[in-house]
C-alpha cells in the first residue's frame, strides 16, 4: 500500500494517489475508498484494477487538511492503508481509520 502526493503550484490542491498491491487485496475483484473526502460513500470512489492485480485511484484533495479513510475490499472487508500518515480511533471498538495529511 502506498500514498503518493503531488502538490500543484497553480491551485491549492494535492493529487493523492492511493495504491494497493496485489498481495494486500488477496485476489479482490473490486476495491473502493471511503473517507471524509466523499462522506464515507465508497460508491463514489472505485479504484482501477491494474494488469498486475493491484488497484489505484488518484484524487484531488484540498491542501492543509487531514482526511480519514479506509479501503473496502469486495464490498465486505475494511482495510487501512499500511503506510498512512497516521491512524486515529474511529469509535467502533478498537478499530482505527487511516489518515492522509495534505
Give the pLDDT confidence score for residue 2 in this predicted structure. 83
pTM reported for the whole predicted model: 0.93
Give the pLDDT confidence score for residue 48 in this predicted structure. 97
Domains, the chain: 2-101 (2.60.40.10)
Tens place of pLDDT per residue across the chain (102 aa): 789 999 999 999 999 999 999 998 988 999 999 999 999 999 999 999 999 999 999 999 999 999 999 999 999 999 999 899 999 998 887 889 999 999
Give the pLDDT confidence score for residue 93 in this predicted structure. 78
Q: Is 2 exposed, middle or buried (0-12, 13-18, 19+ CB in 10 A)?
A: middle
In contact, 34 and 26? CB cutoff 8 Å: no
Beta bridge partners of 4: 17
How far apart CA 101 and CA 91 sit, in angstroms, is 20
Amino acid at each position: 500500500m502506498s500514498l503518493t502526493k503531488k502538490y500543484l503550484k497553480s491551485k491549492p490542491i494535492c493529487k493523492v494517489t492511493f495504491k494497493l498491491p496485489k498481495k494486500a487485496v488477496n485476489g479482490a475483484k473490486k476495491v473502493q475508498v471511503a473517507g471524509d473526502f466523499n462522506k464515507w460513500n465508497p460508491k463514489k470512489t472505485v479504484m482501477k484494477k491494474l494488469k498486475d492485480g493491484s488497484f489505484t485511484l488518484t484524487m484531488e484533495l484540498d491542501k492543509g487538511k487531514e482526511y480519514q479513510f479506509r479501503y473496502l475490499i469486495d464490498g465486505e472487508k475494511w482495510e487501512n492503508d499500511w503506510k498512512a500518515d497516521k491512524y486515529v480511533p474511529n469509535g467502533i471498538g478498537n478499530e482505527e481509520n487511516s489518515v492522509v495529511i495534505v
